C-alpha cells in the first residue's frame, strides 16, 4: 500500500483520473438507478468484478515507473488502444486482456442473477427499491437472509478473486495467455492463503470506505489500490524466465513461455 501511495503521488493527475472516473461513474449509476435495487446492485457488483480490468492503466503506470519510463497520458492511451493491434497475427497481443475482461463480466452477471434469485425466493416481501432491501433483508430481526446472502457472496467471490488477483498485471507484463494467468493467480493464492485473505479483506474494506464517503474517497482509493496491486504481483510471482510483453508502441517479443 505504501508503494502504491508513492506511485499515486508520482503520477499525480494521470493516476487520480482513474479515481475521478470511478467516482463520476458511480454517482451517475446511483442517480439513474437509486430507486431500482436490482439495477443498482447489478451495476456496482459488476464493477467490483471487472475492477482489475479497469485498473490496467494503473498497472501500466507502475510498470513504467519501475522501468524509469515516462508514466503519462500517452502511455495510457497506447495501453488502452493497443489491444486491437495485431490481434490476428499475434495471438499473444493485448487482446487477451479483453478476453479476460469479458470472462470477469460473465462472472459478475452470474453473481447478479444468482443473488436476485436467492433474495426473490427467501426475502419475506418483494424487493424492488434499495429501501426494501435494507428494511426487509439487512435489518430484519426474525430471519437470516442477509447473513446467508453474504455467505453465498463470499463463496462465489473467492474463486473470482483467486483467478484474477494477479492475472491482469501478469497479462499486461508478460507473454502469457488468459489460462496461464489464471493458473498462476491460483498458485499464488494457494501458496500464500493468509496474506491473500488479508489482501482481499483490505480491498473490500477500502472499497466500503469509498462507498460510505459518497464515492469521494474513491478519487484516492482506486489509484492507490491499483498501484498496490501491481506491487503485490511483482512481490508474489517470479516471472524472470517468462518473455516480457513489450510496452505498447514497442517491438513484440517472443511469445514463448509460461508463468511459473
Quickly list DSSP for 76-95: HHHHHHGGGTTTTT-TTSTH
Q: Is 234 exposed, middle or buried (0-12, 13-18, 19+ CB in 10 A)?
A: middle
- Give the per-residue pLDDT at 186: 95
* Residue 26, all three cell numbers: 458511480
DSSP class of residue 171?
H
- Give the per-residue pLDDT at 258: 45
User: Measured on CA atoms in the order 97, 100, 102, 105, is the torsion positive or negative?
Assistant: negative
Rounded Cα gap, residues 188 and 258, in angstroms? 15
Alpha-carbon 161 to chain mean position? 9
- For helices 218-236 and 13-33, the axis angle rounded to 10 degrees is 120
Report pTM. 0.82
- Give the per-residue pLDDT at 245: 77
Rounded Cα gap, residues 166 and 173, in angstroms? 11
Q: What is the DSSP string of 180-245?
A: HHHHHHHHHHHHSHHHHHHHHHHHHHHHHHHHHTTTTTHHHHHHHHHHHHHHHHHHH---TTS-B-
Rounded Cα gap, residues 186 and 15, in angstroms? 28
Cβ proximity of 149 and 137 under 8 Å:
yes
Q: What is the dihedral of CA 98, 200, 44, 141, to 10 degrees?
A: 150
Residue ranges of the chain with per-residue pLDDT less than 70: 42-50, 82-95, 246-260
Amino acid at each position: 500500500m505504501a508503494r502504491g501511495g508513492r506511485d499515486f503521488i508520482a503520477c499525480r493527475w494521470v493516476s487520480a483520473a482513474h479515481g475521478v472516473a470511478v467516482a463520476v461513474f458511480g454517482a451517475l449509476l446511483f442517480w439513474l438507478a437509486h430507486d431500482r435495487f436490482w439495477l443498482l446492485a447489478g451495476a456496482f457488483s459488476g464493477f467490483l468484478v471487472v475492477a482489475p480490468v479497469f485498473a490496467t492503466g494503473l498497472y501500466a503506470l507502475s510498470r513504467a515507473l519501475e522501468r524509469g519510463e515516462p508514466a503519462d497520458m500517452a502511455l495510457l492511451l497506447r495501453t488502452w488502444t493497443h489491444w486491437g493491434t495485431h490481434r490476428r497475427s499475434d495471438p499473444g497481443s493485448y487482446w487477451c486482456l479483453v478476453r479476460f475482461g469479458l470472462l470477469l463480466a460473465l462472472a459478475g452477471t452470474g453473481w447478479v442473477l444468482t443473488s436476485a434469485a436467492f433474495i426473490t425466493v427467501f426475502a419475506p416481501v418483494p424487493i424492488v427499491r434499495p429501501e426494501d432491501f435494507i428494511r426487509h433483508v439487512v435489518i430484519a430481526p426474525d430471519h437470516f437472509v442477509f447473513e446467508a446472502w453474504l455467505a453465498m457472496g463470499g463463496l462465489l467471490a473467492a474463486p473470482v478473486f483467486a483467478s484474477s488477483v494477479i492475472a491482469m498485471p501478469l497479462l499486461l507484463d508478460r507473454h502469457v495467455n488468459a489460462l496461464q494467468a489464471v493458473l498462476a493467480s491460483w498458485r499464488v493464492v494457494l501458496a500464500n492463503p493468509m496474506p491473500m485473505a488479508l489482501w482481499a479483506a483490505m480491498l473490500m474494506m477500502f472499497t466500503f470506505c469509498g462507498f460510505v464517503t459518497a464515492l469521494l474517497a474513491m478519487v484516492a482509493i482506486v489509484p492507490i489500490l491499483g498501484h498496490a496491486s501491481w506491487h503485490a504481483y511483482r512481490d508474489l510471482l517470479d516471472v524472470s524466465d517468462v518473455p516480457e510483453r513489450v510496452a505498447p508502441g514497442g517491438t513484440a517479443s517472443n511469445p514463448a513461455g509460461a508463468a511459473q
